[in-house]
Every structure is written in C-alpha cells, then in structure tokens.
Structure 1
Amino acid sequence: MSEGYYKNATFEGIDFSSKESPSGEFEGCSFIRCKLVKADLGGWEFNNCRFEDCDLSNARVVKTTFNQVKFKGCKMLGIHFDLVNAFVFTVGFEDCVLNFTSFYKRVLKEVSLAACQLVEVDFTEADLGGADLRRAVLTGAKFEQTRLEKTDFREAVGFNIDPAVNYLYKAKFSASGLAGLLAKYDLEVE
C-alpha cells in the first residue's frame, strides 16, 4: 500500500504486518479481518474508521491519531495507547481482547469497553468517567489515581480497585463485584 489519503475505502484480509508501513490518512474507512501485528502505525491518522475482527497486537502507535474509531472483535495485545496523539483520542471497543495494553493518563470519558478482556491493563491516572465496562474481564488491571466517576462496572469480573486512591463517585457495581473494592482489607465476602 502506498502512502496517501483514503476515504470510505474498505480493506479486507490485508496483512499490513508484512509490509513496509508508510504513513497515511484514513477517513471513513473499514478494516475487516486485517492483520496489523507489530505494524508501525506511527503518525497514521484514522478518522471515523472501523476495525472488525482485526489483529493489531503489539502495533506501534506513537503519535497515531484515533478520532472516532470503533474496534469490534479485535485482538489488541500490548498496545501503548499512552503514546498516541492525545489531542483527538476518541475510541470505542466491543468484545475485544486488550490484554497488557496501556491507557496511562488517557482521557477515555464515556468510552465503551463492554465485554472486553482487559487483563493486566494499565489505567493509571486515566479518566474513565462514564465509561461502560459492563461484562469486562479486568484481572490484574491497574487502577491508581484513576477517575471512575459514573463508570459502569456491572457484571465486570476480576477487578481490584482501591477506593482510597481512585475517584469512584456514582460508579456502578453489581453486588457480586463488591469484593473487588474490598480486596486490600483481606476480607472474606460471601
């Protein structure tokens, strides 16, 4: 693929990980079943794009723009979203695997992470105000100085959140998830 501007294009079944990755700008594009494993997406711009059933594991995203980008059913292991262009970072995820990913200091207000696997994800100092984390798997996820105001954790599992070091005003939890808020006290909740 050559460098350039793409509008309303559909890329299906393309292996970007085996090609030289020039910078490009994509507007209104769809990526379906594409492979971007370890691809260097640094400086690329994605505006109003959709990724479906793609593998972006360990993609390099330094200064990459993700503006109004939706990911559905994607595998995205080890991505450092803390290095993207933070000025216009608006994303949504549904049923994705985001294990070992970093959202350090990212603003993710009202982001959807519904039904996603978020094992060992770093949310340190992130703003997840109003985020949808329903049915998410959060085993080992790191929440420290994280804004979780009105965040929806109902039916989420595996989380361990210390209310003393996170902002949880009006956050929503299922009764079964309350143990994840009390773990530091080593209580036995049945």
Structure 2
Amino acid sequence: MLILVGYVLMVLRAPAVLLPPEATSPALGPSTAPLSPAEKLTAAHNARLLAISFGGALVVLVGLLYTARSYRLAHRGQVTDRFTKALERLGSDELYIRIGGIHALEHVLRDSADHHADIIEVLVAFIRHRAPRVRGDVDSSIYPRPLPLAEPEADVQAALTALGHRPRRRERNPINLATLHLRGSKLSGADLRGADLTEADLRAADLHNVNLQDSCLLMANLREANLSGVDLRNANLVEADLQNVHLAKANLRKARLRGVDLRNANLVEADLRDAHLVGADLRDAKLPGANLRNANLRRVDLRRTDLVGADLRGGNLLVADFRDANLRGADLRRTGLAGADFQNANMTEADLRYAYLMESNLRAAGLALAKLRGANLRKADFRDANLRKADLRRTNLHMADFRCANMSGANLWAANLDWVNLREADVQGTGPLIAALAARQNAAGGDTSGHGLPPRASAKSSGDAE
C-alpha cells in the first residue's frame, strides 16, 4: 500500500519536479517568452507520462529479477532432485540401472558447477567400491568385492569415462584410484591430471592421449598399455612396470622414472627431457628419435636398445649399460658417460664431441665416422673397436687401449696419446709417426712405456690437417 501511495504522489508531483521554471523568471533573461496555459497543460501531461513510464519500467525490472531468482531456485531444485534420483540408481542391483545413474550424474555434472565436487566424490567412491583391489583385502560377506577381470565391469567403465571427460573445474581433492584393479580400462583422451594411481593395475589399458600430468603412478602396473601421445610431465612413475608399453610421442618431460621397468617399450620420438631414470631397465626398448636431453640415466640398463638418432645431449649416463645397443647417428655431445659399457654397440656416425667417456668400455663397438672431437677418453677400452675415419681430434686418450682396433683413416690431430696402447691396431692413414708408434709397440710386445717422441707432438706432426 505504501509503495502504491508513493507511486501516485510521484505521478502527481512529476510536473513540479520535471517542468522548467516559468519563462518570466529573471534568471532566464528578459527575452524568454512565458508559457501559455495550453503549453503548461501539455508539459504537465508529458511529465506525468514520463513518471508513469519510469514506474512501469521499474515494475518490469523488479518482475524480471524476481523471475530470474525463481528460475534459479527452481533449476537448483530440479538439479538437486536429479542428483538424488541418480544416487538412488547407483545402489540398484541391476547393472543397466546403475549405468543409467552414472550417465544421469554425468549430465548433472555438466549442467551444475555447484554439484561438481560432490559428483566427483560420488563417482570415485563408486569406482573404489565396485572395482577389485590389486591386493587381496578382506571384504565383508554382505558386499563382496568382485574378482579381477580382463577389463572393468560396464558400470565401473562408465564411471571412469565420466571422470575422465568431466568439465575442467576446481576440485577439492585429487582423484584417488590407487591400488585398484583397472586392467583393460578404456580411457582414451581422458583428463586425469594430478590423479593418484599408486599401485594401480592398468595392464593393457587404452590410455591414448590421456593427460596424466603431475599424477602419481608409483609402482603402478602398466604392462602392454597403450600410452601413445600421453602427457606424463612431472608424473611420478618410480618403480612402475612399463614392460611392452606403447609410449610413442609421449611427453615424459621431468617425469620421475627411477627404477622403472621399460623393457621392450616403444618410445619412438618420446620426449624425456630432464627425466629422472636412475636405475631404470630399458633393455630392448625402442627409442629412435627420442629426446633425452639433460636426462639422468645413471646406471640405466640400455642393452640392445634402439637409440638411432636419439638426442642424449647433456645427459648423465655414468655407468650406464649400452651393450649391443644401436646408437647410430645419436647425439651424445657433452654427455657424462664415465664408466659406461658400450661393448658391441653400434655408434656409427654418432656425435660424441666433448663427451666424458673416462674408463668406459668400447670394446668391439662400431664407431666408424663417429665424432669424438674434444672427448675425454682417458683409460677407455677400444679393443677390437671399429674407428674407421672417426674424428678424434683433441681427444684425451691417455692410457686408452686400442689393441686390435680398426683406426684406418681416423683423425688424431692434437690428441693426447700418452701411454696409449696401439698394439695390433690398424692405423693406416693416421699419419707416419702414429704408424711408427704402433709398429714400435708391436715390436716391443705391447710395451707402451718407451715409444720415444712425446705423443702430443707425434699426433700434431702426423700430417693430418685439422
């Protein structure tokens, strides 16, 4: 009633407020003509119409605000009702009803940001209740946990799909799927950033293009899983089992892979820059074109590994095992390889400039056309190695062993040959003084102590141009 009275008064008083002063007012000057009675009546009518229009607009605005508020409340009530009904379906004994409840939750998840965190918690709890555990935990006789299968049950798979393709919003807690048996799961393209998959069984799972950035896969079992194109940046994969996995073009930058099992893994063109692989097992793995720049590969087992064209620049490969590995054309510039074992490895055309290979084992290694300029090869073992036309300029070969090695055409300009052993080595085309040194050692039965001229001087005067 008070609002209505106020509105009537505003309409009645509108002319006094909105009409201009009388034309005869001295403030307007003597030239202003006074308003006629008809003009005053028209002006008053227009002022009241303006006040009525303003009041009408205000009423419409208030109505719109009230309608919007009512709609929000009604929508929230509908969403809450949908959420409640979906929860009831999850407890059904019928598989298809549970799947319907999961799909209903997925729709609510997309429609309502307010229910996002609650629905994620419900889906995670549902998966943890329905999926078997990796370890044999004790279940109640009332709700026994299903036995492990070759792939998840349909309702568990539906819940995993809903989780993996949820809208990207802020969440209270990371997704916890630790210690669950999820073998054969289909999660292609899923977003599982920051998820906890500790000790999870993901054997033969389809994880193609999955985002697992910052996730925890500690001691997880991923044997034979498809991880091509997966994003594992900063992920924790310590002691995980990755045998026979497909990781082509995967992003493992700065991933923690200490003690991981990558035997027979496919890592073609994978990005392993700055990754931590100490003690990892990469036997028979395929890494052509892989990027391992600045990676920590200390004590890694790389036997029979395919590293053709791989980039290992600046990496730490101390005491790594490269026996029978294929490193053809690999880039190992300035890499720490002290104590590494390259026996029978194929290193043809590999780039080892300024690498640190002190006391490394290069017996029977194929180093034809390899670039070793400026490398530290102190006490390295090159017995039976093929160094044909290799670039050994300015290398430190102090006490290196080249017995029976093929060094034909190798460039040893300015190399440090102090106490080097060239017995029975093929030094054809390396220069007359080096040939004389080899001949003298052969005649002395391999005694390298009395070779005569200072070795550096001999190498520089051999006639090879830099």
Question: Offset at 1:162?
Answer: 6.7
1:141 to 2:373 alignment: no
Q: 1:25 to 1:164 in 2, by over 3 A?
A: closer
Task: Give 1:6 shift.
Answer: 2.4
- 1:48 and 2:264 matched: yes
Paired amino acid for 1:46: L
Aligned partner of 1:183 among 406, 411, 415: 415
- Structure 2: distance between partners of 1:120 and 1:159: 11
Judged with a 3 Å threshold, the aligned counterparts in structure 2 of structure 1 residues 70 and 57 are, in CA distance, closer, same or farther, namely: same
Question: Where do residues 104-183 of structure 1 align in structure 2 (5 Å cutoff)?
Answer: 104-160=318-374, 165-175=379-389, 177=391, 178-180=410-412, 183=415
Give the 3-state SS of the residue equivalent to 2:241 in structure 1: strand
Normalising by structure 1, we get a TM-score of: 0.85
SS of alignment partner, residue 233 of structure 2: helix
Offset of 1:12 from its aligned partner?
1.9
Q: How high is the TM-score relative to the length of structure 2?
A: 0.37
Aligned sequence identity (%): 16
| Aligned counterpart for 1:11 among listed residues 227, 245, 249 | 227
Number of residues paired by the alignment?
187
Instruction: Give the match for residue 276 of structure 2.
Output: 60
Cα distance in 1 between the residues matched to 2:346 and 2:315: 17
2:297 is aligned, of 69, 78, 81, to 81
Quote the Cα distance in structure 2 between the aligned partners of 1:121 and 1:37: 18
Q: Identify unmatched segments of 5+ residues in structure 1.
A: none
Q: Using a 3 Å threshold, how does the CA distance of structure 1 residues 110 and 22 change in structure 2: closer, same or farther?
A: closer
Q: Distance in 1 between matches of 2:321 and 2:350?
A: 19
| Structure 2 unmatched runs, 5+ | 1-191, 201-219, 392-409, 417-455
Identify, as 1 or 2, the structure richer in strand.
1
- Partner Cα separation in structure 2 for residue 38 and residue 180 of structure 1: 38
Query: What is residue 36 of structure 1 aligned with on the other side?
Result: 252
Shift of 1:117: 0.7
Q: Do the aligned residues in 1 keep the contact of 2:355 with 2:376 (CA within 8 Å)?
A: no
Runs of 4+ in 1 over 6 A off after TM superposition: none
Higher CA-based Rg: 2
Larger helix proportion, structure 1 or 2? 2
Superposition deviation, residue 38 in structure 1:
0.6
Give the alignment's Cα RMSD to 1 decimal: 2.5
Question: What is the rounded CA distance, in whole Å, between the counterparts of 2:377 and 2:332 in structure 1?
Answer: 20
Whether contact under 8 Å (1:160, 1:180) holds in the other structure is: no
Seen in structure 2, the aligned counterparts of structure 1 residues 7 and 19 have a Cα distance that, compared at 3 Å, is: closer
Report which stretch shifted further, 106-115 or 48-57: 106-115
